[in-house]
Amino acid sequence: MKKITNLNLPFVLLFVTFASAQDFSSVDAKVSTYPASFSNPEKLAERVASDFSSDTAKARAIYTWIANNVRYDLNEYRSNQGGKVAFTYRSAEEKEKKLKQYNLDLAIRTMRTKKGVCRGYTALYDRVAELVGLETMTIPGTSKSHPTHIGKLPTAADHIWNAVKIGNEWKFIDVTWGSGSVDSQTGKFVNKFNPSYFFTDPDLFFLNHFPDEKKWLLTNRTAEEFAGLPLFSGQYIDSEYTITFPKSGILPNNHIIPFKIQNLKTDRVAYALSKDGRIRIADVKKNGDVSEFEVPLEKGASGFVTIFIDQESVATYKISASK
């Protein structure tokens, strides 16, 4: 994972390397011995409280179990637009009471069915965290999860995630994205544990999360910066390398797009253009610790270009047609 070392640089995320500050392998190994199902959130909370004493270990254990055992429900997402909530209320107090009961019921249902959308994941995380004594918040906001989001300002919330308080510091968690992703070829959800979205540095979390309330950025960034970013994957966020050029997610068609990647240990780099989807091998040249290659473009070509490293998509850019 990457580490932010200088927050005064524009798009600083693209220039630095992150070394994970904590090793959670022992926590993950212990949680891997847990049953794949619990009858209710209280049972999971009892197990976590029994096995772990520190707030950090408890937070990780809950993340690891949910991410490994709850599947994203694409049918619910498609039928209910990601689990939006609607109910009537006469006062702020009644609204809060109904929302709390809704989230409690949702946490129980998510635990029982072992599937849900982002609101179900966050409700379950919140409930188990509460039971083991952790302070959490659910944060609605805009995600950057599709190439068409590049260049668009954050608007109505389409996602929700958690923050957990460790000591006096809030830490970001997105257990929904930590559970896997949708295969773009098959349209099916692939359950694959991703640690990138646990205690993610705020400047890294910003790559694909923009909260409705700016105070939950936990960093000095803007909506305009968010809109202009490329689409980065979890594989990129958790990597040891950094794409140092281009910095913008929107690229003019100058017939050639140069790329530079620092600290890349492999030469297995490829790219695909959205016009035909064909994956092409990049001709990578080494310049010290920087790997360089070019993506040629036809005149007038537009759409998107996706970069692959070791057969995993890591970043997508929008191409503006030349005039």
Say yes or no to pLDDT of 6 above 50: no
Structure confidence at residue 15 (pLDDT) = 26
Residue range 115-131: mean pLDDT, rounded: 97
> Among 16-20, 50-54, 311-315, whose mean pLDDT is lowest?
16-20
At residue 81, the 3 state secondary structure works out as coil
Question: 283: buried, middle or exposed (CB in 10 Å: 19+, 13-18, 0-12)?
Answer: exposed
Q: 169 φ, ψ to 5°?
A: -120, 135
Q: Which CATH architecture has domain 242-319?
A: Sandwich (2.60)
Domain ranges of the chain: 25-228, 242-319
Q: Is-above-0.75 flag for pTM?
A: yes
Question: H or E stretch including 279?
Answer: strand 279-281
Positive or negative: CA dihedral 241, 244, 245, 250: positive
Please give the pLDDT value at position 87. Answer: 67
When pLDDT is averaged across residues 26-39 and rounded to a whole number, the result is 98
Closest CA to 269 of 231, 297, 238, 241: 241
pLDDT of residue 99: 81
Mean pLDDT across 11-16 = 28
Kindly provide the residue ranges of all beta strands, DSSP E only, lying in 25-121, ordered along the sequence. Answer: 71-72, 115-116
Structure tokens at 15: 């220039």
Q: Say how far apart CA 75 and CA 81 lie, in whole Å.
A: 10
Token digits for 182? 């949708």
Q: Given the structure tokens 């890294």, which residue do they identify?
A: 204
pLDDT tens track for 212-270: 999 999 999 999 999 999 999 988 988 889 999 999 999 999 899 999 999 999 999 99
**What would the two tokens of residue 293 be?**
């290659």
Residues paired with residue 262 on neighbouring β-strands, in sequence order: 242, 290
DSSP-based three-state secondary structure for 2: coil
Strand, helix or coil for residue 164 = strand
Any idea which fold 25-228 has? C8orf32 fold (3.10.620)
Task: Give the lowest-confidence range in 73-82, 101-110, 286-295.
Answer: 73-82
**Token pair 């923009």: residue:** 210
Average pLDDT, the chain: 89
Cis peptide leading into 230, omega within 30 of 0? no
- pLDDT per position as a tens digit, 270-302: 999 999 889 999 999 999 999 999 999 988 889
Average pLDDT over residues 138-156: 94
Q: Is the pLDDT of residue 12 over 50?
A: no
pLDDT at 306 over 80: yes
Predicted pLDDT at 322: 61
* Total residues belonging to the chain: 323
Query: In whole angstroms, what is the distance from residue 57 CA to residue 47 CA?
Result: 12
Contact predicate 126/107, CB 8 Å: yes
Query: Looking at residue 155, what is its pLDDT?
Result: 87
Percent of the chain with pLDDT over 70: 90
